[in-house]
A and B are shown apart, each in its own frame.
Chain A
Amino acid sequence: MKRKRSVGGILFDILNTLLMLIILVLVLYPFWYVITCSLSTPSQTTGSLLLWPKGFTLESFKTAFETEAVYSSLLISVERSVLGSAGMLLVSGMAAYVLSKTHLIAGRFFRVFIIFTMYFNAGTIPIYLTYQTLGLTNTFWVYIIPMLVVPFNIVLMKNYMESIPPSMEEAVLIDGGNELTAYFRVILPICLPVNAAVILFSALTHWNSLMDTQLYNSMSPHLYTIQYVLYNTVAAQMSQTLEGARSAGSAALVNSQSLKMAFTVITIIPVMCVYPFLQKYFVSGIMIGSVKE
């Protein structure tokens, strides 16, 4: 079907397409630059906007993976992303199921008790002292335990569960099963789309997290995450923090630009890999959340 088009309309279409192309370049080029830079020979990278790697080499990645800190921190980051998101699904999922029950004793109290923490926290120092008193600081568990209960995810899952007809779980309950069985046998599998969304989002939050290492584990180099190692490598020279200077030992190893970019690429790649799934599930997640919250 052909539309009659005015000169103004055609001009608008051309300008609009051009604008979108410019936006694409503005968003994509920084990432592309980081990648090309990491693949270039270190001495040749400085000072130009590259379109293709200059003197293609995998040397920087080889050096990066030979750095003990990179290897161990990658492992820590993967561990916390996997364990953290699985634990979150277990704890927050059960809570969401219980809170979705309208006949729950003191239901309103429990709902407010948990959801209120979305808008409020006791502050950096009181939380730090609490974790210290509980013996969480300088352990791996400080990454996992505080992120098991995520109110936002609970709200998302609860909304989804409320849309499931009660008849689905009644079969189990009538046969003398309890809610625990009903949840794990029936409800959890039905919630697959929302589970995927919250798991991906939680894993990503774990992967991207920087401050918990800085606040609670900066004295334990064996617990550094990849984000923290990247931070120390790239940003510490500008930082006013003493912590930065302390870990300068690891930064001194890496001073060439392409090596820093290789670190950055290593940190981005996992995000790129899960992005197609993230995009698919997260968009629906935003929608559920914004409509019903």
Chain B
Amino acid sequence: MSVLSSQKTSVHSGRFGSSRLFTRLNRQKYLLLMLCPAFLLTAVLCYLPLVGWWLAFTDYHVGDSLFGGDFVGLRQFSRLLFESSDLGYLIRNTLVINGLTIVINITVALVLSVLLRELLWKPGAKFVQTILFFPYFISWVIMYSIVWALFAVNSGAINQLLVSLGVIEKGFNILGSAKYSWGLMIVLNLFKHTGYNCIIFLATISGIPQEQYESASLDGAGRFAKIWYITLPNLIPTASILLIMNSGWIFSNNLEQFFVFTNATNWETMEVLDMYIYKFGLQQLDYPYATAVGILKTLVSIIVLVVVNKTVKKLSDTSVF
């Protein structure tokens, strides 16, 4: 009703531009009032900090007034891009860890969802699904604590077991060695996210029309033929959409995850852009450089996101869904 009346008003008073706007504002004053807190908070906490991008073009030192640094142009940006070799290992770590995580997570979840559906005892499948989803809600500190309990070099339970069985001489230094960082991150992400991805795949499976299976049975298709010719092809579009959408975040990391697991012994293979920004900004207090790296990261992420979104739209218009 209110929608109708306000539209009517706007049609009739169309000739008097300002008074029409005033009438609409007056009609919607409660709506605007209700939006106010969220709008102001977003403006101040998310958009106001953009002013701080100015720092990246100065040689600001901690202690100066905010706009006290001298303008140095693109000097801070060229430090990362041309003067240091850090960019190479940062990009490598980010792409290897995130790229492999995305591919492996989706593949495992896809296979597991098919297998879950094939379980004969349905409550069992539901139970496995429920348990699998739990780690999704566990913080990275707890993940660290668990890994530490099982794999600390000297006190970790699994390391001690392997040593006492004589399988290895000395415990795997999983938390403190550059060798294991990529594998550790990939396995932990799998542990945390498989349940979530399975839910999406299982929902897709339950959306497959039963007639497809029934008519396949009439044609004499066995169980494996049905999986291969009906279930899997129906899951491929969901998998590709998930794959593409997740790639949109490939340059963004969960800072908490890397903050907890990055240390002095494994940073070469563990440090990603967000950690690097944290290290230079808040530990070495080089604000201008950290801000510049942050700006570059934001710009690249947005480009990737836009490209990915375009791709998804194109695909979903033609073949998917």
Contacts and interface: CB of A to CB of B under 8 A. Distances in A.
B282 to A, nearest CB: 7
Nearest to B144: A235
A164 interface: no
A43 interface: no
B141 A49 contact: no
Interface string B124-157: 1100101111110111111011101110000101
Nearest to A97: B34
A290 B196 CA distance: 12
* Majority SS at the chain B contact face: helix
A196 interface: no
A196 B135 CA distance: 20
A95 B43 CA distance: 14
A199 interface: no
B32 interface: yes
A126 B51 contact: yes
A264 B38 contact: no
A287 interface: yes
Nearest to A3: B223
B38 A91 contact: yes
Contacts of A261: 145, 149
Contacts of B222: 6, 9
Interface string A101-134: 1111100001001100101111111111110011
13 contacts: A20-B119, A27-B131, A30-B150, A47-B157, A49-B158, A101-B3, A119-B301, A124-B274, A126-B51, A154-B38, A208-B137, A210-B140, A264-B146
Interface of B: 1-3, 6-7, 21, 24-25, 28, 30-35, 37-39, 41-42, 44-53, 55, 66, 112, 115-116, 118-120, 124-125, 128, 130-135, 137-142, 144-146, 148-150, 155, 157-158, 160-161, 164, 175-176, 191, 196, 199-200, 203, 222-224, 255-256, 259-260, 262-265, 267, 274, 277-278, 281-283, 287, 290-291, 294-295, 297-298, 301-302, 305
Interface of A: 6, 8-9, 12-13, 16-17, 19-20, 23-24, 27-28, 30-31, 33-34, 37, 46-50, 91-92, 94-95, 97-99, 101-105, 110, 113-114, 117, 119-130, 133-134, 145-146, 148-149, 154, 166, 170, 173-174, 178-180, 183, 204, 207-211, 214-215, 227, 230-231, 234-235, 238-242, 257, 260-261, 263-264, 267-268, 271, 275, 278-279, 283, 286-287, 290
